[in-house]
Amino acid sequence: MQNKFIKSDRLVILSILLLIMLSVYFIFLYKLQIIEGDAYSERSANSLASLQTVEAARGSIMDRYGRSLVTNSQSYNIVLNETELFNQDDPNRAILNLVNFVRVRGESYIDELPITTAPPFTYTEMTNGQKTALKAYLKDKDLDENTSAVELLSYMRTRYKIDNNYSAEEMRTIAGIRYEINVRYAAGSGTNQYIFVEDADKDLITALLENDYPGVSVQTTYTRNYSTKNAAHLLGYIGAMNAEEYATYRSNGYSMNAKVGKDGAEKAYESYLHGSDGLATITTTKEGAVTGTIYTTEPEPGNNIYLTIDLAFQEELEKILEKGVQRLKEEVAENAAKKGLEVSDENGNRVTGGAVVVVDVDTGEPLGIASYPSFDLTQLKKNYQKLSTEKDAPMFNRATMGTYAPGSTFKPCTAIAALSEGVIDLNSTIVCNGIFEKYASAGYAPECWIWSSYHLVHGGDNVVGAIRDSCNIFFYTMGDRLGIDRLDKYAWGFGLGKATGIELPESVGVMANPEDHPGGPDKWYAGDSVQAAIGQSDSLFTPLQLAEYCATVADNGKRHTASMLKSVRSFDLTNTIYQRQADVLNTVDSDQENWDAVHEGMRLVGADPSGSAYDTFGDYWMSVACKTGTAQTGAANNGVFICYAPFDKPQVAVAVVIEHAGAGASVAPIAKDVLDAYFNLAKSAESSSENEKQVLK
């Protein structure tokens, strides 16, 4: 094998190339370190790096058809760069100048130090969040937890070197900002910058930057944007965490500055809506200009949720309810004037509010939930104090939290119980003579409403006629024969006095029973069972429970969950994370002929001239099954009404409750307007769908 040698001319060329490369390298190195070394050194000295939390966008809330209910809009926070701020010759003077600059422009800044702003210095009434933060601060500084406000400010004056030339008020102002910066480290949230001004006005931002205030930087964030002024009780709002919330959410990676759902859907679906914050190393100049951002953890936006609510229908529902309440107020006032009475809380005849709930019969899905009075979520922050103290409680969701005696709307439940248990059959009749006399000798003889009002009687009624006539004597008899245990079993099967499955705060109410009766089982008498059978005694239910109960009757005993969540999709809409199923919670078992009889009795309430809702539904374009209820309150009665429609193929069930409206028949027109709105919107949607199909052909 022959040895091969590199030719000398090639070796020379390679050597020259290597020499050129080395020369270029050394020249560049000389320029970098010798010629421009000072410039790079200065640039490095002026460059500040900090690890910061990067807020993730919160997910949007949509209606069942994808129409926006709550979205995000970009806003700006003014944050303080503490490194730059404390590099000033007199950081306390810089802080005071900055605060005064903001105050002069009528803007507010965040100062959660719970001490009065002027002497005599005392602790203010604290939120849970303030209590937690103060406790963490005192512990971090090795201060006694019983340190007084004066002692704490004295400590701060020394620690932060606040000169005695500053007045007491100025000292408190400076201490508040220093506290805000320090408490984040004490609470273990050092990566969270102190937000000095939240959702800052652009004019303020411009003025601050133009005046080159040290330590000021602008942070892009998100503000919740409400696409409707309706559905306030359903959507809820977000806010800063209190102590209990922070203790819970901190373990889930929430930052101290994070906003969480405080009510409604925002709170119920927090785990879906809240994204995962990121972490980034932010490099800035001393002047605050960002020169580099390196993400160590990318922020991940929250998911989008879709509610079962139809926005267009919800808006109509709230208008109908408000209009109905105003009409009833006028009617009550007229009736009071005829009797020479004033409308007042003392007389118990003032219409104070109400609720309407509409659910899908086949699935139990709430399609619309309205409570009156309501409020505008877009103005909540501004009007919170006023709203929270108003007499008629506009922030109280009467639809899910208000509990009311059902009155005669409970009678279909009693009828199913009696038929199913064999207490009566379809042909059994009970004679109404106006008075239930079985316990008269014991001093208990309740009357039928027709006897009390007109001194008339219903005569003999079977179950269909008894529902149509709402005959108390018939249902007193059923309650007496059934006994409370069997009646309770069916009521609970209908979901009355039980959780509905909705994710919003709700009252479960109570179905009258010996255990929960005032005084306990020893104070439960036969008369209590008799009263429970007509929807009185201790029974109290929410409008949502009444709507789901009505839907269960319409669907022959199938009771569905009232969950308001239809689906959840990822922030980019590529993945479906959750899809609602029409879950059946339980079934009230009874023969079909029993259901048919109850349905027919409810149809006759609106279709027969003797029915209490005939004036409203007698000539209605669609057959409706319904039941009125007059819930006794000791003064002006509440008006309660339930219905489902269409009668032959039920689609929706409706419950209406109006406080002090007088009678169930008086609130029936509200339900009629609700049905008109629902089916008109359904026809409009169907027409739009057909038009789209024609265009696509």
Residue 530 within any structural domain of the chain: yes
Q: Which two tokens stand for residue 124?
A: 């203010």
Query: According to the model, what pLDDT value does residue 221 have?
Result: 82
* Contact status, residue 402 vs residue 393, Cβ threshold 8 Å: no
Q: For the chain, what is the domain count?
A: 1
Query: According to the model, what pLDDT value does residue 8 have?
Result: 64
Query: According to the model, what pLDDT value does residue 248 have?
Result: 87
Query: According to the model, what pLDDT value does residue 49 have?
Result: 64
Backbone angles phi and psi of 493, in degrees to 5: -60, -30
Q: Which residues of the chain have pLDDT under 50?
A: 1, 40, 43, 689-697
Give the angle 22-28-33 at the CA atoms, nearest 5°: 125
What pLDDT, in 10s, does the model give residues 631-683? 877 667 899 999 999 999 999 999 999 999 989 999 999 999 999 999 999 88
Query: According to the model, what pLDDT value does residue 635 have?
Result: 66
Q: Which two tokens stand for residue 52?
A: 């910061």
What pLDDT, in 10s, does the model give residues 412-436? 999 999 999 999 999 999 999 999 9
Residue 482 within any structural domain of the chain: yes
pTM of the predicted structure, to 2 decimals:
0.83
Query: According to the model, what pLDDT value does residue 381 have?
Result: 80
* Contact status, residue 149 vs residue 123, Cβ threshold 8 Å: yes
Query: According to the model, what pLDDT value does residue 282 have?
Result: 65
Query: According to the model, what pLDDT value does residue 694 have?
Result: 44
**Could you tell me the CA-to-CA distances from 235 to 33, 70, 224, 238, 572 in Å, in that order?**
61, 8, 11, 10, 22
Query: According to the model, what pLDDT value does residue 286 have?
Result: 53
Residue 351 within any structural domain of the chain: yes
Query: According to the model, what pLDDT value does residue 50 have?
Result: 62
Which candidate, 500, 564, 511, 545, places its Cα nearest to that of 655? 545
**DSSP letters of 465-501?**
HHHHHT-HHHHHHHHHHH-HHHHHHHHHHTTTTS---
Amino acid (1-letter code) at residue 463 = V
Check which CATH number belongs to the domain holding 554 and give it: 3.40.710.10
Query: According to the model, what pLDDT value does residue 596 have?
Result: 98
Residue 463 within any structural domain of the chain: yes
Query: Quick one: three-class SS letters along 85-96?
Result: HCCCCCHHHHHH
In angstroms, the CA 675 to CA 261 distance is 33
Q: Tell me the residue range of the domain where 685 lies.
A: 311-377+397-689
In angstroms, the CA 286 to CA 88 distance is 11
Residue 199 within any structural domain of the chain: no
* Number of Cβ within a 10 Å radius of residue 129: 19
* Number of Cβ within a 10 Å radius of residue 191: 17
Residue 513 backbone zone (phi > 0: left; psi -120 to 50: alpha; other: beta)? beta
Residue 338 within any structural domain of the chain: yes
**DSSP letters of 19-66?**
HHHHHHHHHHHHIIIIISHHHHHHHHHTEEEEEEEEPPPPPPEE-TTS
Residue 32 within any structural domain of the chain: no
